[in-house]
Amino acid sequence: MTRDALLHIVGSGPAGLAAAHAALDAGAAVCLIDDNHAPGGQIWRGGPGRWTDARATRMWTALHDHPRFTHLAGTQVIGCADANTLLVEAADGGATIPFQRLLLCTGARELSLPFPGWTLPGVTGAGGLQALIKGGMPVRDRTVVVAGTGPLLLATAATALQAGARVAAIVEHQPWSRLGGFGLALLARHKAKFAQAVSLFAALRTVPYVTGARIVAAAGDDILRGVTVTVQGRETHYACDFLGAGFGLVPNTDLGRALGCATADGAILVDAMQKTSRANVWAAGECTGIGGVDKAVAEGRRAALAALGLHPAARDAPALRAAHAFAGLLARTFAPNDALKTMYRPDTIVCRCEDVTAAQLLPHRDWREAKLATRVGMGPCQGKTCGPACAFLFGWTPPDSRIPILPASARALSSIE
Express each pLDDT in 300-315 by its tens digit.
999 999 999 998 877 7
Query: Would the pLDDT of 263 be above 70?
Result: yes
pLDDT of residue 323: 92
Strand partners, 209: 170
pLDDT of residue 404: 87
Query: Would the pLDDT of 23 be above 70?
Result: yes
What secondary structure, in 3-state letters, does 193-229 show?
HHHHHHHHHHHCCCCCEECCEEEEEEEECCCEEEEEE
What distance lies between CA 25 and its chain's CA centroid? Answer: 28
Ranking 6-20, 58-72, 116-130, 303-317 by mean pLDDT, the lowest is 303-317
Instruction: Tell me what the mean pLDDT of segment 84-88 comes to.
Output: 93
pLDDT-based confidence at 4, cuts 50/70/90? low
- Of 194, 127, 197, the closest CA to residue 156 belongs to 127
As annotated, the residues of the chain forming the CATH 3.50.50.60 domain(s) are 6-109+250-331, 114-246
Neighbours of 231 (CB within 10 A): 13
What's the mean pLDDT when you consider all of the chain? Answer: 93
- Of 9, 16, 17, the closest CA to residue 97 belongs to 9
Terminal-to-terminal C-alpha distance of the chain: 33
Better-predicted residue by pLDDT, 125 or 316 = 125
Does the global pTM surpass 0.85?
Answer: yes
pLDDT of residue 416: 65
CATH number of the domain located at residue range(s) 6-109+250-331 in this protein: 3.50.50.60
Distance between CA 71 and CA 84 in Å, rounded? 20
pLDDT-based confidence at 172, cuts 50/70/90? very high
Distance between CA 386 and CA 291 in Å, rounded? 23
Distance between CA 349 and CA 218 in Å, rounded? 13
pLDDT of residue 2: 45
β-strand pairing of 76-82 with 108-110: unpaired
Instruction: Tell me what the mean pLDDT of segment 391-397 comes to.
Output: 94
- Of 161, 143, 147, the closest CA to residue 204 belongs to 161
Fold designation for 114-246 = FAD/NAD(P)-binding domain (3.50.50)
Distance between CA 182 and CA 201 in Å, rounded? 14
pLDDT of residue 362: 96
Residues 6+ apart with CB under 8 A from 197: 151, 154, 183, 186
Distance between CA 406 and CA 417 in Å, rounded? 19
